[in-house]
Structure 1
Amino acid sequence: MTHSYTMAVVFGLIAGFLCRIRMLRTDFRQYPTYPHGRVIHLSLGLIAAGLGAVAVPALFEKNYTAITFLALAAQQFREVRNMERETLSKLDEMELVKRGATYIEGIAMVFEGRNFLVILSAFLTSLAVMIGRWPWGILVGLVVVGLTGWLRSGKSLDQIADVQIASVRLKGPNLYVDDIYIMNIGLEDNRRRIREHGVGVVVVPKDRHSRFTLANTGQRQAILHDVSVVLGVFRDTGEPSLVPLIKRDLNDGRLGVFLLPEEKDPEAVLEVVRRVPVLESAVRMPLTPSRNQRST
């Protein structure tokens, strides 16, 4: 029996750690940083995998204090969320184009949730070894690693909206992206820079739910931040006229996106905007008109 316990713990630990590796990547948003940010999250993932793997033999031995340890671990992994929130909030103060509180909270929530997925993966793999021996452990381990890889990425902007390049026009001091008014540009020097470097994008929601999601200011700020991180931003501190902006057409819900990348490459801008993640806290699913009527 001791040998079975050892195999269950080892298989669970390996499966859980592989899940954490599969869910951890430094993408175009440059977070987590490499290598130190990755070391922190992989270390926490190894601890989470160990907790999930050890819980099964403890329960088979009727040592129910293991549940208490899992509950304590859940409390500790909540600190991961706080750590990420505080770190990103401090970094955001130094950004020319900020992430925004909604984006930061989404990233922090993801890192907390992934540790719980690691615990569950290790627990299921360890349980499979205890019940069906090691071949079942390998099978379940492969399944959970595959599933966590699938859960790694959420929706991107191109799944809820059509993203198109639009013209940047100046009518006197007024700046427009397509027919959407953006802001007033007073200085001729700033208007010249906008003509040279400005890129416009129109984001058209695909349905009513998408329209409400795109109205969220946190989702809009995420678009501006991601483009600025990947392609740079042609501005410095103290230049409010050169700040990238997004304005919404109140009639149809379209977004007019005004951007000032370091290099004027409309196709690259289009690709980055399409890959912007849809923030979980920005998703809105309003009631249908018939349900609204019944509720009143």
Structure 2
Amino acid sequence: MMDWFLAHRYTVGIVIGVVLGIAARLNMLRTDYRQYPTYPHGKIIHISLGVIAAGLGAVAVPALLEKNYTAVTFLTLAAQQFRDVRNMERQSLSKVDEQELVPRGATYIEGIAMVFEGRNYLVILTAFLASLFSIVFPWYWGIAAGAASILVSNHFKSGSNLAEVADIEPVPIRLEGPDVYVGPVYIMNVGLEDSRQKIMQHGQGFLLKPKNRNARVTLSHVGQRQAIMHDISTLFGAYRDEGEPSLRQMAKLDMDSGTVGLLLLLQEKDEAKTLTALHRIPVLESAVRMPSEAGVNARKGS
């Protein structure tokens, strides 16, 4: 049996690499409450791309070991293909976003597109390592290397959430004439009495207090605030329709303290559930700012 594995080590390495690469893509592919990628057609597209990525990563190892360096240049074509996938995701999500009652926003869409491109590269890496270890060492080391790569991929599958950058607390909504406030934060002016009554009846107010100077800049990002409103509206349903400009989710910044006042109008009014969901909202990579790391802001003597 071992003689057969040695005689067909390239074939064994490629098969193990492809299988574990596909397993890595399936592990990172999940349709959650946002229903993206859509089921089943969206999943079929991304699984197919995962198979291609796994094949590219697995085949690259025999090409390198045989010193066929020209053949490895097809990886550059793969990189271009996956960049096209990113553009495809961006364009399709932007079109869909035009019909959302509470849009994702350009920042959120760019983050989703970037994630799908990056995960294909993780698949290539997993397949490459599994194939390499299967060929250079006994085949079971390839399985171990692929499994370890999948575990590492899990680390990159999800980033930080809102609870890590902000203290979140529910606060009452109050009216001062036509002006709507969430705690101390002014939200907007609502002229119609009927709209004010609906806001008081269906609205929920929350304050997002940044934990540090980095979080303060991150929460001030308009794209991050839009992502918060979109995700919560997706979870609990938005209490609004077209032609109702005063009935909308709002996230306004208190420029003095950096606190964000969040006004939510949801079909399901459950403060405890909403508070739990807010803690789990993802922080967008492109919204993260680190002003404390800048040399001009560094502490003296540090």
TM range (shorter): over 0.9
Q: CA deviation at 1:2?
A: 5.3
Picking from 160, 183, 186, the partner of 2:188 is 183
Which residue of 1 is the match for residue 53 of structure 2? 48
Which residue of 1 is the match for residue 272 of structure 2? 267
Counting only pairs closer than 5 Å after superposition, residues 1-296 of structure 1 correspond to structure 2 as 3-287=8-292, 291-292=296-297
CA displacement 1:89-115 (0-9 Å, x = unmatched): 000000011100000000000000000
The 3-state SS of whatever aligns with 1:253 is coil
Counterpart Cα distance in 2 of 1:182 and 1:286:
27
The 3-state SS of whatever aligns with 1:263 is coil
Is 2:103–2:230's contact at 8 Å kept on the other side of the alignment?
yes
The 3-state SS of whatever aligns with 2:137 is helix
Counterpart Cα distance in 2 of 1:113 and 1:293:
32
Counterpart Cα distance in 2 of 1:292 and 1:165:
33
Counterpart Cα distance in 2 of 1:283 and 1:292:
17
Counterpart Cα distance in 1 of 2:139 and 2:295:
54
Is 2:63–2:72's contact at 8 Å kept on the other side of the alignment?
no
1:149 is matched by which residue type in structure 2?
Answer: N
Q: CA deviation at 1:289?
A: 8.2
CA displacement 1:206-264 (0-9 Å, x = unmatched): 11101110010000000010011111111111111001101011121111000100021
Counterpart Cα distance in 2 of 1:166 and 1:66:
62
1:232 is matched by which residue type in structure 2?
Answer: G
Counterpart Cα distance in 2 of 1:32 and 1:108:
11
The gaps in structure 2 that reach 5 residues or longer are: 1-5
Q: CA deviation at 1:131?
A: 1.3
Counterpart Cα distance in 2 of 1:118 and 1:290:
37
Q: CA deviation at 1:54?
A: 0.5
Counterpart Cα distance in 1 of 2:11 and 2:106:
44
Q: TM-score with structure 2 length normalisation?
A: 0.94
Counterpart Cα distance in 2 of 1:212 and 1:231:
27
Counterpart Cα distance in 2 of 1:257 and 1:10:
51
Which residue of 1 is the match for residue 3 of structure 2? none
The 3-state SS of whatever aligns with 2:258 is coil
The 3-state SS of whatever aligns with 2:169 is strand
Q: TM-score with structure 1 length normalisation?
A: 0.96
Q: CA deviation at 1:66?
A: 2.5
2:269 is matched by which residue type in structure 1?
Answer: K
Counterpart Cα distance in 2 of 1:62 and 1:194:
69
Q: What fraction of aligned residue pairs are identical, expressed as a percent?
A: 58
Q: CA deviation at 1:150?
A: 2.1
Q: CA deviation at 1:138?
A: 1.5
2:245 is matched by which residue type in structure 1?
Answer: P
The alignment's C-alpha RMSD in Å is 1.5
Q: CA deviation at 1:291?
A: 2.5
The 3-state SS of whatever aligns with 1:204 is strand
Counterpart Cα distance in 2 of 1:95 and 1:264:
20
Counterpart Cα distance in 1 of 2:120 and 2:153:
11
Moved over 6 A (4+): none
Counterpart Cα distance in 1 of 2:229 and 2:264:
7
Q: CA deviation at 1:292?
A: 4.4
